Amino acid sequence: MVTPRRSPNRRVVSRPYRWAEYEDDALLKLRLRDLRLRVTGSLVQPDVHALYDELGRRGIDFRPHVWLSEEWFSPDGIPGIAIPFFVAHPRLRQLERRMMGDVDGGSSLWRLRLLRHEAGHALDTAYGLRKRTDWRRIFGPSSARYPGTYTPRPSSRRHVLHLGHWYAQSHPTEDFAETFAVWLQPKARWRRDYAEWPGAIEKLEFVNSLMDEIAGSAPHVRDRGSIEPLSESDKTLGEHYRRKRARYDRIERRYDAWLKGDFATRPARPRGVQASRFIREIEPQLRRLLVRRARLHPYLVDHAIATISRRVEQLDLVLRDSRRDSKRHVVRLHERVVLDVLRRNQERFTL
């Protein structure tokens, strides 16, 4: 675990791990506990300290403790944050990408977004915020059933946009965590960004007032326990990924016909450029084109890019045409996906 004190020396000293040189097959046979990973000295340590700094600058006298586990979560009753093992080391991040097609928290920027969200949950627990009448009036009852799946409305302006898949719409506690994360961002301009979103701005103003109220006060719950720590898991990495892939095997097939029309299969063009790699290469330019030229919301653009990138990798598609022609196809494809999402005004996701 990481102590909640600020350290004058933020330099990360990576520990050597013998398994970092293993091939995938050998690595998948290891038990999670045998990785012997720690947050201290890992890739995620600077991000944890950055989160602590952000809380301190806001006057919040609370630093959630962290530990390594299998997924991102903050358990009910414990004001701390579980961080998935695969973001702690480059070799494990590589394995996660190969097994799942993406890494949830693969960059420092994205890890901080996730940490701010989980800090919202931990803060809720530490100060008992969900028990307040005004909290329930703004966000709804935290006792509402947590759904296995949810169907958000992409056009809704009652919720902030932070993590993917319109996550704030999944449950009242997630709505609060997402709202807190948007509020906590350094140099956040949420009053400007959400000025015309009446439901979302009301929640942000409430969080702003609530944080002023608790600033400088000690948390009520100080349990430093950890749930499902990596160090106690006898599960192998292979078992972990078999279960995880089964859980996320609800593959988005809606756009397969479009994708196969714009790209080719690997057998048809064995030497073709991997479509997912090409999209990653042009992603900055693609995002600018879609946001500025097509006037699409950045959140919708990111959703389309993530959806298409993940699916072309799953299908192992490659470029059919030249890079120049393929770029035009990719831009049009993303525009079609975003417009389809807006037209249907509903998506379905698994929690």
pLDDT tens digits along 2-39 = 444 444 445 555 568 999 999 999 999 999 999 999 99
Per-state percent for the chain, helix, strand, coil, to nearest 5? 55, 5, 40
Q: What angle do CA 41, 45, 51 make, to 5 degrees?
A: 165
Residue 293: the pLDDT is 63
Q: Which two tokens stand for residue 32?
A: 């999670």
Residue 263's DSSP bridge partners are 319
Strand 65-69 vs strand 80-84: parallel, antiparallel, or unpaired? parallel
Residues 58 and 43: beta-carbon distance below 8 Å: no
Residue 335: the pLDDT is 84
Confidence check: pLDDT of 347 > 50: no
Each residue of 130-161: pLDDT tens digit?
999 999 999 999 998 876 666 777 778 999 98
Look-up of token digits 């929640």: 203
Other CB atoms within 10 Å distance of the CB of residue 230: 24
The pTM (predicted TM-score) of the whole model is 0.76
Q: Give the whole-angstrom CA distance, residue 70 versus residue 88.
A: 11
Closest among 331, 313, 325 to 275, alpha carbons compared: 313
Coil, helix or strand at residue 302: helix
Confidence check: pLDDT of 186 > 80: yes
Residue length of the chain: 351
Residue 4: the pLDDT is 44
Each residue of 42-57: pLDDT tens digit?
999 999 999 999 999 9
Query: In angstroms, how far is the first alpha carbon of the chain from the final one?
Result: 26
331's CB contacts (< 8 A; 6+ apart) are: 286, 289, 290
Split at pLDDT 50, 70, 90, the class of 249 is low
Coil, helix or strand at residue 76: coil
Burial class of residue 307 in the structure, from the number of CB atoms within 10 Å of its CB (0-12 exposed, 13-18 middle, 19+ buried): buried
Q: Which two tokens stand for residue 13?
A: 């000293």
Split at pLDDT 50, 70, 90, the class of 252 is low
